[in-house]
Each structure stands twice: as C-alpha cells, then as structure tokens.
Structure 1
Amino acid sequence: MDSKEKTPPARTRRQDGETTRANILETAGGLFAELGYEATTAKEICLKAGCNLASVNYHFGGRDGLYAEVLKEAHNRFISLDLLTEVANSPLDARGKLGRIIDGMLDGLHSEGWHLRVFMREIVAPSAMFDQVFNTRISPKLAIIRGLLSEITGISTDDQALARCFLSTFAPCTMLLVANRHMVSRVMADFWTAEGELDFEDLKTHIKTFAFAGLDAVAAARRAKGRN
C-alpha cells in the first residue's frame, strides 16, 4: 500500500483534535466547578478526561491556560457576546434590547451546567486569570449593557449612578443563576416547587417590570434635581 494512503486526511486529524480539546475543556470545567482552581490538578483532569499532559499543553498551554479557557467558556454560557452584539444591532429600542438581554440571562435557569458554579467561584474568589477574561470577554459585554442603560436613563456611562443601575438591574438575575435552588426555595417560600417547576415567563416579566420601574424612577429623580 502506498505510504500516502496510510496518512489520515487532515480534516480527520483536525476533527479528532477538536474533539479532544472539547473533551478536556468539558472535563476540566466540571472539576474546577467541583473542587475549585487551586485544588484541581492537571493530572486529575487528564485522568478523568482520558488524555495525557501533552494534550493539555498542546491545546491550552498548561493548566493555567486551560482554566482561562474554562472561564471564558463559563462566561460565554452565562451570557454570550454574540447574543449581546446581535441584540445591540437589532431594530429594537433600548428598552426592548435590555429586556431581551434579561430574558437571555434568565434562560440560563434551564441549565445546571458547571459554568454557573465556576462563575460563582470566580465571583467569590477571583483567580489570577480573571483579568485576562475580563479584558477579552467581560469588558465588551459591559460596554454594550452600560450603553443601553445610559440610553434608557440619560445617565452618563462614567457616572457612578449608572453603576448602581447596573447592579440593581442584573443582581437578581445573577443571584437566581448561581444560587442553590433548594436554598432559595426555603428562604423565599417555595420559589421553586418540589418538582422544580417555575413559571419562567412570569418570572421574566416580573424582573423586567421591577428593573424598568427602577430605572425610570432613578432617571426621573435625577431630572428633578437637574442632574441628567
């Protein structure tokens, strides 16, 4: 047989490499979510993923590079830049766009993947890789959202009041996504039923109603003081 016929096609090798990379990323995400960054070793990841250290180094440049990619993927699953960009470029007005973003975040309640637990750990104890993820993934998303909040309220994007508006608007969504459902249900009178049921559409409407009422109230108060 001709030696050339023994060489797998480049596309097959590329697909195998993509599969290996995805497997390592998914496995690492689960372990980092369960154990945390400091307690998760590359050896442990390789053992569970069924790969060797050379594969981790090849695809991610080592454990730190792998964790950075896990953080990027976790934040992307939390709310993707693609979604935000699509919404920002849509013909909706600013209120419609912000409402769509809130809907997109709350859609994450249907998922209980590792990304939410990784995200929660990073909020509580930021890692050394946070700055890298912030600059490449988080900052562009914040810029889009700040712009919408500014358009709705008339408050400048560099005003501390807008930061407070951001917190009040998105803290409820974030809390629902990262909190333990059983604990939330116990504290807030069966927010989720024993069967895990929740009227998502009513929840979205409720949170948006409060968010827009709050933004409108802040904007009106500042106008009354001549501050907008």
Structure 2
Amino acid sequence: MQKKTATRASRQDGDATRQALLDVAGQVFAERGFADATSKDICARAGTNIAAVNYHFGSRGALYEAVLVEAHHHLLKLEDMQEIAARDLAPHDKLRMILRGIVLRATGPDAHWGARVVIRELMAPTEHAPALVHKAIAPKATVMLGLVCEIIGLPPTTPGLQRALFFLMSPCLALLVAPREMRSKLFPALGDDAEGLVDDMMTYASAGLDAIAAKYSASPRPRGG
C-alpha cells in the first residue's frame, strides 16, 4: 500500500512539474520566441533542474511543440467544439456558440500567453509549425468543416465550401493578431460589446454561407442553351 501511495505521489509530482514547465515555457516563448528562449531560462523560472525539459519532453523543440498545442487549446478547445457539434441544435446555433467562445477569449481582459505564442508562430513560422497544424489546427478544422457542410448542404470536397471555412475563420484570426490598443482606437466596437460582435459576425457569415450554397448548388447550364 505504501509503495502504491508513493508511486501515485511521485506521478502527481511529475505531472505538476511538467505542467509548470509548460506554463512557464509558454510565457518565455511568448516573450522571446523559440529561437531566443533557452531551456536554462525556462527551468530557472520554473524552479526546476536544467534536465527537467529533456526528462519530461525529450528536447526544447518537443517542449515548444507541446506549448503550441497547449496555446491553441486555450484559444479553442477541441473537446468543446466536438461537444457543441454533437448537440441537437440548428447548425447556425452551433456555429454561433463556437464563434462566441473564440471572440470572448480574443476580446477578454485576461491576456493569456497562448495567443501571443500562436501569433508568433503564424507570423514567423518555425520548423515546428507542422506540429501546430497537424496536432491542434487540423482536428478543429475537421469539426468546423463538418459544421459548415451541415449549413451549406454540400460535400466537404467542394472548393467553395473549403474557401468559405477559411473566410469564416479569418475574422477570428484578425481579432487575435490585431493589437488590443489598435482595436480600441480604430475599431472600439470590436471590444465594447462582445455579444453584439458575435451577432454581427453571424449575420455576415450567414449571408456569405448562403451565397456560397446558392452558387455551388446551382445546376450547370446546358451548353448552347
């Protein structure tokens, strides 16, 4: 019994150390970027041994990839999206709930390191960008593609549908990339009323999705007709 208890405690300590490293590394990478952030600095700020990065993650690069996934998870959780997509709701209502979650995080008062890490990677991609795409973005894009399919009523291979999804998510990316000060000075309405912003995004998105549906659902005209 004592051995099992000791093993469980050791595992919990290890998990806590790993999470502490992840959080501190996220802050350091957000401040300095991947190239200028060292394992030594991260471990010093986390209060851990210099070997902790390799022990828990294998390398500084693997730690950075874990940070990228964690950062994107903070902005948009796959589990939340899947739960919303499975609900017995109209597709437009599901879409609004997902967009609302993104908007609230992008315009909220708490400045989490996740947004800065993701923005850094998107603006100046490193060799670890594929990890962000495959491990974080792609699974969520699959959920969104299925939701847009529900709304438009076209197969996911339709070029217009794929473009529509890109156009749909672009405003969310713009909210994350645009500095808060710039938004407040040039477009104060982007931050004053989050619910109103979501409503207007849905109005804009719905009109665009309806237009795409009409365009690609139309039967081709017969030649010479």
Counterparts of 1:33 and 1:204, CA distance in 2: 27
Query: Counterparts in 2 of 1:35-50, with a 5 A limit?
Result: 35-50=32-47
Letter in 1 for 2:44: L
TM-score by length of 2: 0.88
Structure 1, 128-137 or 33-42: larger mean CA deviation: 128-137
Q: Which digits, 9 at most, give the CA deviation of each residue in 1:161-188, with x for residues without a partner?
A: 1232112211112211232110122232
Look up the SS of the partner of 1:157 in the other structure: coil
Counterparts of 1:216 and 1:139, CA distance in 2: 25
Partner of 2:135: 136
Query: Counterparts in 2 of 1:63-142, with a 5 A limit?
Result: 63-108=60-105, 109-110=107-108, 111-142=110-141
Letter in 2 for 1:74: A
8 Å CA contact 1:155, 1:161 repeated in 2: no
C-alpha deviation, 1:156, in angstroms = 2.9
Counterparts of 1:51 and 1:93, CA distance in 2: 49
TM-score by length of 1: 0.87
Are residue 170 (structure 1) and residue 181 (structure 2) matched?
no
8 Å CA contact 2:44, 2:50 repeated in 1: no
Q: Which digits, 9 at most, give the CA deviation of each residue in 1:36-56, with x for residues without a partner?
A: 111111111112111122111
Instruction: Indicate how the Cα distance of structure 1 residues 103 and 6 shifts in structure 2: closer, same or farther if over 3 A, else same.
Output: closer
Over the residues paired in the alignment, what is the CA RMSD in angstroms?
2.3
Q: Which digits, 9 at most, give the CA deviation of each residue in 1:204-225, with x for residues without a partner?
A: 1111111111111222233446
Structure 1, 143-152 or 158-167: larger mean CA deviation: 158-167
Counterparts of 2:92 and 2:102, CA distance in 1: 15
C-alpha deviation, 1:96, in angstroms = 1.8
Give the % identical residues: 39
Q: Which digits, 9 at most, give the CA deviation of each residue in 1:101-130, with x for residues without a partner?
A: 111211213231000001101111222222
Q: Which digits, 9 at most, give the CA deviation of each residue in 1:50-84, with x for residues without a partner?
A: 11221111111110110010011011111111011
Are residue 216 (structure 1) and residue 210 (structure 2) matched?
yes
C-alpha deviation, 1:154, in angstroms = 2.8
Structure 1, 70-79 or 175-184: larger mean CA deviation: 175-184
Counterparts of 1:185 and 1:129, CA distance in 2: 33
